[in-house]
Structures are given as C-alpha cells and as structure tokens.
C-alpha cells in the first residue's frame, strides 16, 4: 500500500457523495455535462483569500499568477478578489483584456517576451518585469515608436533561493531576471530613458511549506531590494516579493503556517528602510489561492486484474492532470489525495491502482491506494486540481480531448 495525500479542507460527504458548498459530485457532473471535468469552488477560493488577508499585514497586496488556472469564469471571479494579476505571456494578456481588466492592474514577467507582446503590454499600461538588459532596450524602443511611456520594473535574479522550494527559481545562473549586481545600472538606464519606474520583482521559488523558509526569503528579499535601490540611488514605488506559498499535496505534508509568516512580515514593516517606506508591497501567488479549491473528477470505465493487482481504468488521465501523474516537476511519483467520489462515506477495503485512458505507462493517477471498493461507473476524485491542472496538461495528447471545467 502507498499512502495518499491529505484531502483539503472544505470537502464533505453528502448523501454518500463527495460535495463542496452543499453541491454533490453528481450535480457537478450534471453542470459540467460530462466526465472528466474539473470543478472549482468559488466559496473555497474566496475563503482562502480572506484567510490570507487576515494573516498578512494589511499593507501587503496580493497578486494572482494566472498561469496556475486561467479558466475564464475563475479568472473573472478571482480578479475581483485580488489586487493585481501577474501574467507570463501575450496570450494571458489577451485573456485579461477579453474580461475588460485594466492593464494597470497587470504585471508581465517571463523570459522571451516577443516584440508584439511587449507592444501590446506597453500599449495597455501593463508593468513589464524586465528579464534582461536586451529586453529593456527593446521595450524602450517599442514605447518610443508607439509614443507611450512604458511602465517598467526590473526582475532580479537574487543570489539566494527559497529553501525547501519545490521549484527553484533564484540563486546562481538562471534564465529569469537580471543578476543582482547588474540591476542598479539597469535601473539608472531605464529611469534616465524616461520610463515610469515601477520598482523590483524578486521571485525566489515555489511550493514551500516551511514558514521559516518563507520568512528567511522575505527578509533577504527586503534587504536585497533596499541594497539595490540604494546603489541605484532611487526609491521603490513597488516591490513584488514573489510568493512561493505551498499547499500540501502528499502524505506527510503539513500546511504552511501563514500566521507566522504574517507576524514576521509585520515586524519587518515596522522598520523598513527609506527606499521602501512608501513602496506598495505585493506577494504573487498561484497555487496557494486556487490549488486546493479544485477537484478533478473522472469515471471508472474498466476494472481489471493483472498479476494480483487491481486496476481501475478511468476516462481521464495525465492529459488533464499531468501533475498528479508525477510528470510535472517531481522526481519520485507520490500519490495526490484521491477518493472514490461516488462512495465518499464508505470505508476503504482494497488496494487499487487508478490509471488513465492513455496508452502509456506514465498515465497513473494513484498507485496502490487503499480505497472503498469501486465498480465501473463510479467517479474518482483527484484533489489539489485547482492549479496547474487543465492549464498545465497536454490535452491534445492522444486525441482524447480536453476536460470540461465548471466554477461552482
Ligand atoms: C509561477 C509563478 C508564480 C506562481 O507560483 P505558485 O507556486 O503557483 O504560487 C508566481 N510568480 C512567478 C514569477 C511565477 O513564475
């Protein structure tokens, strides 16, 4: 038997079925129109954001990194709850523009921004988090050509990283940001060129569950931001401190103690250096806001035995939920939280492997999980599917088509 991850708070059994907010999985299926589907909970998202704001100092603003989940209704809903939105492509900018979101609420990071993307962003008043000196030159030239003052920030490649982070994005050679020691000169150059100066972006990593690691990273970020501002002889109108707040996916993962993060941050805010005194301070979060608020539901289409093991074969798989299959940035595959959604109140009695319908051995949703007995027609739920699910899976693979999505 292999353990499964912890089922997030907010899910319950209703008439024997998995439910959230009083809505049963069979009703979610009816709204989605088919299996497999992703269901996202508005109430869980707004609760999460309210809890986050209660834990963090009031001055800290919250950005949503839309790459975690850009399902249009969810994007529209969450954009009313957060202070700003972070994008990483021109396509994501178009999604926000289609929703009528003001570009001045948006910042754009990410390496490899094409000229057309820079132009669309500058025209819309989006803040560009510059990833290189070359990108700065292109942005300034494009702004000049279209007669707009560009809103520019510099993304720093810091000389430290977020410890225990699932995905490291700072420290050493990186394709992201400008090495810290070269940042002051770049700031001087873009400010002298007449941009609207928007400060710094310092992102150090993702999926950290340790409050200590986040507290240490935030202290380092504030110190580095001050040092760079002082060297450039400038104050910071804005500092995007990154995020990295993680969620429990696997057995043994403990939720992040956000109150401790908030308390440590409060102390820092009381003694901010002059360069940061009037800065707007942001955290940018993806999975922490939406990851636990979504579930992926797929139907069992076959139940078979092979060499003493039971396989539940579903109509879903890694083409929708790549991360749960262990093929999205993990070294060792471990089980996400899963359940038999149509028998959510039944006791586990058997060990099963849950697989997808793709003809590849990579397509596994749970290995040797101990679950209630399930039959063909039952529904399987994979939790923690609100982030990096539909938006980060190869839905064209094998022609199985995308999953449905519903916001409830
Ligand atoms: C991906 C990304 C995020 C969001 O990461 P999460 O782990 O989902 O919170 C935030 N900022 C930047 C720069 C990113 O690339």
- Structural domains of the chain ordered from first start: 12-40+291-407 (2.40.37.10), 70-285 (3.20.20.10)
pLDDT at 73: 98
* Ligand 1, CB within 6 Å, residue ranges: 65, 67-68, 86, 109, 203, 206-207, 243, 284-288, 387
Q: How far apart are CA 169 and CA 171, in angstroms?
A: 7
CA distances (Å), origin 338, targets 45, 156, 249: 20, 38, 10
Q: How far apart are CA 270 and CA 265, in angstroms?
A: 9
The Cα angle at residue 345 between residues 343 and 347, in degrees rounded to 5: 90
pLDDT at 368: 98
Phi, psi torsion values for 401, nearest 5 degrees: 85, 160
Q: Which residues pair with 363 in a beta bridge?
A: none
Which residues in 166-240 belong to E strands, given as ranges? 167-168, 178-179, 196-201, 205-206, 238-240
Helices (H) and strands (E) in the chain, counts: 10, 22
The protein residue whose alpha carbon is closest to atom 4 in ligand 1 is 286
CA distances (Å), origin 28, targets 35, 41, 69, 277, 293: 10, 11, 19, 48, 14
From the list 195, 357, 359, 384, the catalytic residue is 359
CB 75 within 8 A of CB 66: yes
- Asked if 384 is an active-site residue, the reply is no
Flag residues of the chain having pLDDT under 70: 165-171
Element (H, E) at 370: strand 364-371
In this structure, the number of other CB atoms found within 10 A of the CB of residue 346 comes to: 15
Give the burial class of 12: count Cβ atoms within 10 A of its Cβ; 0-12 exposed, 13-18 middle, 19 or more buried: middle
In this structure, the number of other CB atoms found within 10 A of the CB of residue 219 comes to: 14
The protein residue whose alpha carbon is closest to atom 5 in ligand 1 is 286
CA-388 nearest atom, ligand 1: 8
pLDDT at 168: 57
pLDDT at 288: 98
pLDDT at 108: 98
CA distances (Å), origin 294, targets 11, 344, 383: 10, 16, 7
Distance 2 CA to ligand 1 centre (A): 30
CB 213 within 8 A of CB 237: no
Q: Is the pTM of this model over 0.75?
A: yes
The Cα angle at residue 38 between residues 34 and 41, in degrees rounded to 5: 120
Phi, psi torsion values for 18, nearest 5 degrees: -65, 140
């Amino acid at each position: 038997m292999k353990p499964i991850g912890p089922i997030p708070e907010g899910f319950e059994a209703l008439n024997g079925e998995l439910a959230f907010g009083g809505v049963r999985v069979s009703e979610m299926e009816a709204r989605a129109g088919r299996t497999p589907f992703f269901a996202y909970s508005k109430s869980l998202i707004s609760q999460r954001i309210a809890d986050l704001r209660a834990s963090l100092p009031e001055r800290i603003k919250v950005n949503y990194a839309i790459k975690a989940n850009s399902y249009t209704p969810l994007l529209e809903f969450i954009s009313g709850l957060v202070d700003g939105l972070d994008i990483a492509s021109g396509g994501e900018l178009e999604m926000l523009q289609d929703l009528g979101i003001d570009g001045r609420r948006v910042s754009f990071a990410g390496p490899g921004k094409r000229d057309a993307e820079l132009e669309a962003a500058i025209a819309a008043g989006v803040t560009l988090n510059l990833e290189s000196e070359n990108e700065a030159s292109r942005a300034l030239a494009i702004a000049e050509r279209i007669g707009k003052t560009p809103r520019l920030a510099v993304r720093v490649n810091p000389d430290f990283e977020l410890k225990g982070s699932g995905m490291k994005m700072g420290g050493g050679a990186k394709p992201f940001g400008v090495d810290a020691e070269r940042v002051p000169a770049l700031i001087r150059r873009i400010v002298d060129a007449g941009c609207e100066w928007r400060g710094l972006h310092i992102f150090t990593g993702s999926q950290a569950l340790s409050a200590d690691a986040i507290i240490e990273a935030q202290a380092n970020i504030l110190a580095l931001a001050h040092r760079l501002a002082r060297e450039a002889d400038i104050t910071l109108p804005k500092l995007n401190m990154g995020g990295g707040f993680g969620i429990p996916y696997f057995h043994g993962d403990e939720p992040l103690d956000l109150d401790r993060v908030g308390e440590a941050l409060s102390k820092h805010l009381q003694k901010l250096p002059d360069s940061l005194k009037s800065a707007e301070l942001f955290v940018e979060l993806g999975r922490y806001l939406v990851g636990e608020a979504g579930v992926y539901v797929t139907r069992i289409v076959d139940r078979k035995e092979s060499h003493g093991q039971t396989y539940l074969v579903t109509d879903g798989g890694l083409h929708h939920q790549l991360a749960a299959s262990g093929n999205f940035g993990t070294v060792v595959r471990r089980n996400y939280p899963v359940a038999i959604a149509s028998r959510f109140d039944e006791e586990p009695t058997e060990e099963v492997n849950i697989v997808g319908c793709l003809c590849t051995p990579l397509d596994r949703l749970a290995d040797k999980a101990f679950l209630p007995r399930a039959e063909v027609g039952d529904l399987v739920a994979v939790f923690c599917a609100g982030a990096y699910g539909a938006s980060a899976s190869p839905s064209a693979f094998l022609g199985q088509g995308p999953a449905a999505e519903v916001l409830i």
